[in-house]
Amino acid sequence: MTSLTLSRLQEAWSWRELDVARCRALTPTLPEPDPASSYGQPASLVPHPDAEERAAVLVLTGYTAFREARPAEALEAAGEALALLGLARASLWYSRALNVRSCAQLELAEFGLATVTLREQLRASRDNGDVETEGAALHDLGVMHTRLDPDHAEGYLLASRSIFERTANTVGQAFTAWSLGELRERQGRAPQAMDLYGTALQLATRCGHRAMQVLVLSRLGERALQAGNAEQGERWLRDALARQSQDPARPLWITVPPLVHLLIHTGRLAEAREVLEMQLQGATHAGMRAVQSELHALLCDVHEALGAPLEALAHLRRHVTLYRQENADEQARKVRALEVLHRTELAEREAHTHRQRSAELQAALNELEALHLQLEKASATDELTGVHNRHHLMTAGVRLLEGQPQPANVAVAILDIDHFKRVNDTYGHDGGDRVLRAFAQFLKRGLRPTDLLARFGGEEFVVLFPGTLLDEAHALLDALRHSLTHFTVDGLPVNLTVSFTAGVVNCPDGQLLPALHRADQLLYRGKRAGRGVVERESLARRPG
**Catalytically annotated residues:** 459
The per-residue pLDDT for 346 is 55
Closest to 209 (Cα-Cα) out of 16, 62, 61: 16
The per-residue pLDDT for 413 is 97
pLDDT in tens, 416-436: 999 999 999 999 989 999 999
3-state class (DSSP) for residue 531:
coil
Query: How does residue 206 score in pLDDT terms, banded at 50, 70 and 90?
Result: very high
Residue 437, pLDDT above cutoff 90: yes
| Rounded average pLDDT over 319-323 | 83
Compute φ and ψ for 208, nearest 5 degrees. 80, 25
Residue 315, pLDDT above cutoff 60: yes
* CA triple 268-524-334, angle to 5 deg: 95
- Tell me the pLDDT of the chain averaged across its residues: 83
Residue 455, pLDDT above cutoff 90: yes
Residue 54, pLDDT above cutoff 80: yes
Q: Which residues of 119-141 are buried (b: 16+ CB within 10 A; e: fewer)?
A: ebbbebbeebebbbbbbbbbbbb
Q: Which CATH number fits domain 390-541: 3.90.1010.10, 1.10.1040.10, 3.30.470.20, 3.30.70.270?
A: 3.30.70.270
The per-residue pLDDT for 464 is 96
DSSP state of 540: G
Percent helix, percent strand, percent coil in the chain, to nearest 5: 70, 5, 25
- Least confident range from 36-50, 361-375, 460-474: namely 36-50
Selection from 280-289, 320-329, 452-461 with the highest mean pLDDT: 452-461
pLDDT in tens, 97-133: 999 999 888 877 777 788 889 999 999 999 999 999 9
Domain boundaries, the chain: 1-129, 267-377, 390-541
Are the C-beta atoms of 422 and 297 separated by less than 8 Å? no
Query: How many whole angstroms from its chain centre is CA 241?
Result: 23
Are the C-beta atoms of 300 and 319 separated by less than 8 Å? yes
Alpha-carbon torsion 312, 315, 321, 327, what sign?
negative
The per-residue pLDDT for 278 is 84
Residue 466, pLDDT above cutoff 90: yes
Give the DSSP H/E element, type plus range, for residue 412: strand 410-417
Distance CA 185, CA 433 (A): 13
Residue 486, pLDDT above cutoff 60: yes
Percent of the chain at pLDDT exceeding 70:
82
DSSP letters for 441-488: HHHHHHS-TTSEEEEEETTEEEEEEET--HHHHHHHHHHHHHHGGG--
The per-residue pLDDT for 391 is 86
| Rounded average pLDDT over 286-303 | 81
Q: In what order do the strands lie in the sheet with 534-536?
A: 452-457, 460-466, 410-417, 500-506, 534-536
pLDDT in tens, 342-358: 555 555 555 555 555 55
For 214, half-sphere exposure in the C-beta direction (CA atoms, 13 angstrom radius) is: 18
Kindly report the number of other CB atoms within 10 A of residue 336's CB atom.
Answer: 16
Distance CA 50, CA 234 (A): 54
Q: How far apart are the first and last CA of the chain?
A: 68
534, β-bridge pairs = 502
The per-residue pLDDT for 343 is 58
| Rounded average pLDDT over 310-329 | 82
Helices (H) and strands (E) in the chain, counts: 22, 5
pLDDT in tens, 164-205: 999 999 999 999 999 999 999 988 899 999 999 999 999 999
Task: Give Rg (Cα) of the chain.
Answer: 25
Selection from 41-50, 224-233, 300-309, 442-451 with the highest mean pLDDT: 442-451
Are the C-beta atoms of 127 and 89 separated by less than 8 Å? yes
Residues with Cβ within 8 Å of residue 524, at least 6 apart in sequence: 320, 503
The per-residue pLDDT for 44 is 40
Distance CA 94, CA 341 (A): 18
Tell me how far CA of residue 262 lies from CA of 269, 336, 338, in angstroms: 10, 40, 40
Give the DSSP H/E element, type plus range, for residue 523: helix 512-528
Distance CA 336, CA 341 (A): 9
